[in-house]
Amino acid sequence: MSLTATYDPILSRIRLSADLLGATATRCVFWRTTNNFSSYVTVRGGWPVQVNSESAHLDDYEFEPGVPLTYRVQSYTDADLTAVATYDVTITQDVTEAWLKVPAAPYLNRAVTVVDRSDVTRRARRGLFDVVGRSNPVAVGDVASSIAYTVQLMTHTAAEESDLDHLFASGEIVFLQLPSTAQHMPGGYFAVGDTARRPTLRLSPRRLWDVPLTGVAAPGPEVVGSTYTWTSVLADYPTWADLLADNATWADLLERVGSASDVIVP
Q: Who's near 146: CB < 8 A, 6+ residues apart?
A: 122, 214, 215, 216
pLDDT of residue 23: 92
Summarize the confidence of residues 93-121 as an average pLDDT. Answer: 96
> According to the model, what pLDDT value does residue 45 have?
96
* Model confidence band, residue 266 (pLDDT cutoffs 50, 70, 90): low
Peptide bond into 48 cis (omega under 30): yes
Question: Whole-angstrom Cα distance, residue 189 to residue 218?
Answer: 6
Phi, psi of 2 (to 5 degrees): -90, -10
pTM of the model: 0.89
What are the pLDDT digits (tens) for 118-166? 999 999 999 999 999 999 999 999 999 999 999 999 999 999 999 999 9
List strands edge to edge, sheet with 13-18. Answer: 3-8, 13-18, 56-60
Q: What is the pLDDT of residue 242?
A: 85
Q: How far apart are CA 48 and CA 59, in angstroms?
A: 14
Average of per-residue pLDDT across 211-229: 94
User: Nearest CA to 48 among 19, 74, 79, 11?
Assistant: 74
> Would you place residue 240 in the very low, low, confident or very high pLDDT band (cuts 50, 70, 90)?
confident
Query: What is the C-alpha radius of gyration for the chain, rounded to an integer number of angstroms?
Result: 22
* 48 or 250, which is more confident: 48
Q: How confident is the model at residue 228 (pLDDT cuts 50, 70, 90)?
A: confident
Q: What is the dihedral of CA 15, 33, 178, 175, to 10 degrees?
A: 80
The answer for residues whose C-beta is within 8 angstroms of residue 254's C-beta and 6 or more apart is 226, 227, 228
Residue 258 neighbours by CB under 8 Å, 6+ apart: 107, 227, 228, 229, 231, 232, 235
Span 66-97, pLDDT tens digits: 999 999 999 999 877 889 999 999 999 999 99
pLDDT score for 173? 97
Decide if pLDDT at 200 tops 80.
yes
Q: pLDDT confidence of 233, banded at 50, 70, 90? A: confident
Q: Give the tens place of pLDDT for each residue, 40-57.
A: 999 999 999 999 999 999
Please, is 198 exposed, middle or buried when counting C-beta atoms within 10 Å of its C-beta (0-12, 13-18, 19+)? Answer: exposed
Res 234: pLDDT: 84
**Angle, alpha carbons 214-227-104 (nearest 5°):** 30
- Identify whether the C-beta of residue 144 lies closer than 8 Å to the C-beta of residue 125: yes
